[in-house]
Amino acid sequence: MAGNQEEEDRRRRVEQADHSGRMEGQVLSDETRQTAMDYVRGAIDSTELVNQIRGRYGHD
């Protein structure tokens, strides 16, 4: 599990990415949001986050 500061940093990165996507008209699916929260909690690392999301949309 990620420490408090690391978790907060991860949360901020996810929020920034979500905001950037929304500015471009994109909305996170519930499944992608759950994957992002797994990353925030430290259950997966950034490589796994990217791999899961890319795989979901056929960009392996």
Phi-psi bin for 58: left (phi > 0), alpha (psi -120 to 50), beta? left
Helix (H) or strand (E) holding 41: helix 30-41
Give the pLDDT confidence of 33-59 residue by residue, as tens digits: 999 999 999 999 999 999 999 999 888
Instruction: List CB contacts of 45: < 8 A, sequence separation 6 or more.
Output: 39
Alpha-carbon distance of 25 to 10, in angstroms, equals 23
In the structure, what pLDDT confidence band is assigned to residue 3 with cuts at 50, 70 and 90? confident
